[in-house]
Amino acid sequence: MKILVTTLLLLIANGSQACNGDQGIALAERAKHFVKYYDYVAQVRLSELGKLTEQVQLATFEVIHTYKGNESKTATIENRLNTSCSKEFLDKGEIYYVFAKLGVSNYKITGGTFASERRLKAANIEFNP
């Protein structure tokens, strides 16, 4: 009986690990802290969307403003969808704030390290790195 109870408790504990809240809102609320950690931080508009694999979304953006990193008119970002916090870019034309690490050929993000401007406005959060 002890073994059964212990096994059930372990299964419940392991299954309860999930992403807490909206990662994008958390990033925006603490933008000054996160800007130090990432290689590239920018306000961007989604212009093209595709998939490299089932777990890698490839998004191309028109850059509106660069807060950190190389300035350019466009940015291509690999969005890795391999964690419980991962989320996809959805609508072309949507404005996002992205926090990315420099990859070999593109910037790379994982775990939902971006914030939708629309969602930030709905939550009355101003992005201010």
**pLDDT band for position 99 (50/70/90)?**
confident
Cβ atoms of 120 and 26 within 8 Å: the answer is: no
Region 17-21 average pLDDT: 58
Which regions of 8-55 does DSSP assign to beta strands (E)? 40-53
pLDDT tens for each residue of 38-49: 888 999 999 999
Strand partners, 63: 44
Report domain extents, the chain: 19-122
Query: What's the token pair of residue 74?
Result: 């466009």
Burial class of residue 111 in the structure, from the number of CB atoms within 10 Å of its CB (0-12 exposed, 13-18 middle, 19+ buried): middle
CA distance 96 to 43: 6
Helices (H) and strands (E) in the chain, counts: 4, 6
pTM of the model: 0.74
The pLDDT, as a whole number, for residue 10 is 43
Whether domain 19-122 has CATH 1.20.1050.10: the reply is: no
> How far does CA 5 lie from the centroid of its chain?
38
